[in-house]
Structure 1
Amino acid sequence: MEMELKTVEENQVASISHIGPVEDMGEIIGELAGWIMQRGLQITQPPFVVYYTSPLDVPPQKMEYEVGIAFEGDANEDERVKIKIMPKHKVLFTLHKGSYAEIGPIYAEMMQQIMAGKYEMIGAPREAYLNNPGEVPENELLTEVIFPVMDLKDCGNPENATITENPEESQEGSYYKISPIGYVKRNDMGTYLEINDKYIPGLKELNNFSHVMVFWWADKIENTEYQNMLQTYPPYSLDRQTGVFATRAEYRPNPISVTTCKIKDIDAKTGVINVMGMDAFDGTPIIDLKPYIPSFDRVKEPKLPKWLSFLWPEWMHEQ
């Protein structure tokens, strides 16, 4: 299987969110295409589906996905159809020819490539359907399998950020010492947090929580140049300049990042916490852990800009 990296340009998209079997997808695509054409708008790209859940994790009736079709023209969204922006971003993709039922192994192979350390996912995977199953035989179906990613060779590249202000390198004020309590570790079996011996007693009762908020220090880009970057083009919207405080980028005045992870298990004797969803490099210093508590940490009705709504939906099913 041949995988390639490409840049997807920004597009205006009409979309319908759905919970139910993937077999409903064809009918929804037809409904969405009809909605666009009834308004005299021009469809510019093949339909696609963003998958927020996996058939390996949920039953068919609980599959969560969003059908989208890019178009040109002016239209107002309604209760059923939403108008969103697919931002400019990079994707790892491959072309599959054949039955939709044969696509599953492709996901596994692409995830293996990502886990190998060349790329980092920045959004939910999607499929673009380049022809119609009603017009070609099953073995002639063409499907593009797409993973939004950041190419890690670009991480910390000054060309991807803009220094709009350059404060004095030496500033008067207070300075604080931060000491790692442990490190992120990755291997073929997954990701875990290795807590230093002196801090292991602090893990008592953490095993009774389902999730932990991991605060980590982005040490690979810890330098004065990156700490002075106040505006950047984030990897999930490459043509949209934003302030660093409106991004999750690691380059910021203090390179502190936070990830909420599912706890798989904790070895209280060795200080090893097996987690899911950690997005830091192997060897990244951990500076703090806090239990995830819904009454404090969950927002009931969050709002996201339209250009983030496909890559970072308001709600994504847990891995």
Structure 2
Amino acid sequence: MLKRLALAVAGGAVFGAALPATAHADGNGLCGGTDSWVSVCATDPGSPASNGSEARHKPAPKGSKGGKPKVRSCTVSRLNPQPPAGSAVWKGHKPGDGAIYTRSCIFDASTAASTLGVPLPLQTFWSATPPAATGPDPAQLAQQAVDKMQLKGPDIVSPSATGRWAVGVPVWMHVGKSATTYGPNSATASAGAVTVTATAKVSKIKWAMGDGSTVTCTGAGTPYQKAYGKRTSPDCGHTYAQTSATESGKEFKVNATSTWTVKWTGGGQSGELTEVRESQVEVSVGELQALG
């Protein structure tokens, strides 16, 4: 009968415990049907699938939601130096008849955030031919690179909360340019031998002006100068047709939503991601006062 054996140490005592009979080896050193991480899934000595070894058991991390964590990426390396002849890890084979390899894997967060990046115990095993490694997903590395950028919403310069705005007078919207608020912004992320580089830049900003109007600008906008008089902005502007007197706080809430386009390459692949960030400012709009 197929069994799963576990060794644990508690208070200096060593004891054995049987795991569920439904457990099985999945090829990545993980026993299905348990909440345990194992380096080897073994059967009883003498059974058809036996290799005479025991499964080493470690409890799942605190906060685990149960279920089987998924291996995120694995690295396989040829052990150097190779074990001496007669070592149990050769499983009856002789040096030169295949080789001994190690496999190192990490979990993703499919069962609990606390498992993200947690390493699976190192496996040592014999193989007649070099086994394939399960490499990291370049798209996941691209998202990690984006997270490093700490992208923010638009740095609204105009309209400002301290400015004086009036019905019928053009507003020139524009934002400040920095790596975190407009771009370009670049970062890299690596796992094993794979490195992904991502570059992000704002491709458009959608302005909700608070009076029901929206304006989409494909640039940062042009800063206003007194010499422009009452001309409208050439690339990003709005003219209010009513005051904000009836609004809560007697101000329009202006929302600026930036769309970041992220292009990445690495691991023999390339792709594009989209990120969205938002900023807000409250502005007071009144009537022009005629001078007597």
- TM (norm. structure 2) is 0.21
Structure with bigger gyration radius: 2
Higher share of residues assigned helix: 1
Higher share of residues assigned strand: 2
- TM (norm. structure 1) is 0.20
